[in-house]
Amino acid sequence: MKEQDYLDHLVGVFGHPVAENPGVVIQEAAFRDLGLRNWRFLTINVDPDKLGDAILGLKAMKFRGINCTIPHKIGVLKYIDVLSPSAKLIGAVNTIINDNGVLTGDNTDGKGFMIALESAGISPKDKNVVVLGAGGAARAICVELALAGARHLTIVNIPKDIAFGESLVRILKENTRVAVDYVSWVDAFKIPAGTDILVNATSIGLYPNVNDKPNIDYDTITKDMYVQDVIPNPAFTPFLREAERRGSRWQNGMQMLINQAALNITMWTGLKPNKEVMLKALEEALS
């Protein structure tokens, strides 16, 4: 008789809001391609004050793991048993692996970003980089850029989150050799002359707020700059449209999302997914 196994293996994402997150599309496309017929990816809206309850539920239902997106990447740290070296340095977690109730926190945001950068033929070594934002994704990106040899980082962040920005600067100064400046983001920020790479690591422009764009002086973007957005949905944000209008090379957040999702799947299943299958599923979903 054929073995009867209907047990679901659960993973997913905690966020708030999270309805626009396309992780389920790419993760389940990869599961099908890998023949993992009982694996399920759940998209779960978790209020910030209920995150602890959600973690207890994750353990009770034996989730294999979970992604954390806005606003949980930093708040989830208090519930983690073991932090990977990169997550500890970054101070944010976007991936949790559950080993029989022991939760290990890791961060694949920065790694996914760096793979996307490499695929575009861009090396951060000895480059001047401006990063908009200082939240979970920005922290991961800045740490990875610094470790990869960026010459100078300018971190631009809104005043209400000054503590996040200052703690990120301190981490970078204490653990890397990069030169770093912090700018309180009040007025339209002018991108400094000599900037090589400009990164939007905020959620500005994310669906459903598809007409929003970061408050910068877009006339200070030049054709010599490489511009990267971390937002995958929509794929072509107003921020990127402004960059294209000025002749800059650019990349959207889809490749970064695919890369970090592929890393997550390997952490959870031990298998290496086909990223082309994942990208095709994402493009079809967003078309």
Integer angstrom CA distances of residue 89 from 70, 150, 152, 172 = 19, 17, 19, 9
SS3 159: helix
Share of the chain above pLDDT 90, in %: 85
| Confidence (pLDDT) at 218 | 98
| Confidence (pLDDT) at 1 | 60
| Confidence (pLDDT) at 200 | 98
Q: Give the C-alpha separation, 2 to 4, whole Å.
A: 6
Report which DSSP code applies to 209. -
| Confidence (pLDDT) at 204 | 94
Start and end residues for every CATH 3.40.50.10860 domain found in the chain: 9-107+257-286
Question: Under CATH, which number does the domain 110-252 receive?
Answer: 3.40.50.720
Our answer to whether residue 59 is catalytic in this structure is no
Phi, psi of 115 (to 5 degrees): -65, -40
* Residue in 73, 111, 127, 213 annotated catalytic: 73
Start and end residues for every CATH 3.40.50.720 domain found in the chain: 110-252
Burial of 217: CB neighbours in 10 Å, binned 0-12, 13-18, 19+: exposed
Q: Angle 109-119/254-269 helices, nearest 10 degrees?
A: 130
pTM, entire model: 0.89
CB atoms within 10 A of CB 261: 27
| Confidence (pLDDT) at 20 | 86
- The answer, yes or no, to whether the previous bond of 159 is cis (omega within 30 of 0) is no
Per-residue pLDDT tens over the stretch 153-206: 999 998 887 888 888 999 999 999 999 999 999 999 999 999 999 999 999 998
* Rg, C-alpha atoms of the chain: 19
Query: What are the strands, taking DSSP E only, across the chain?
Result: 9-15, 39-45, 65-68, 82-83, 95-99, 102-106, 128-132, 152-157, 179-184, 189-190, 197-200, 216-217, 226-229, 249-251
Write out residues in the chain with pLDDT < 50, as ranges: none
Cβ neighbours of residue 267 under 8 Å, at least 6 residues apart? 65, 95, 97, 106, 108
Question: Under CATH, which number does the domain 9-107+257-286 receive?
Answer: 3.40.50.10860
Give the largest CA-CA distance in the chain: 71
Report which DSSP code applies to 81. S
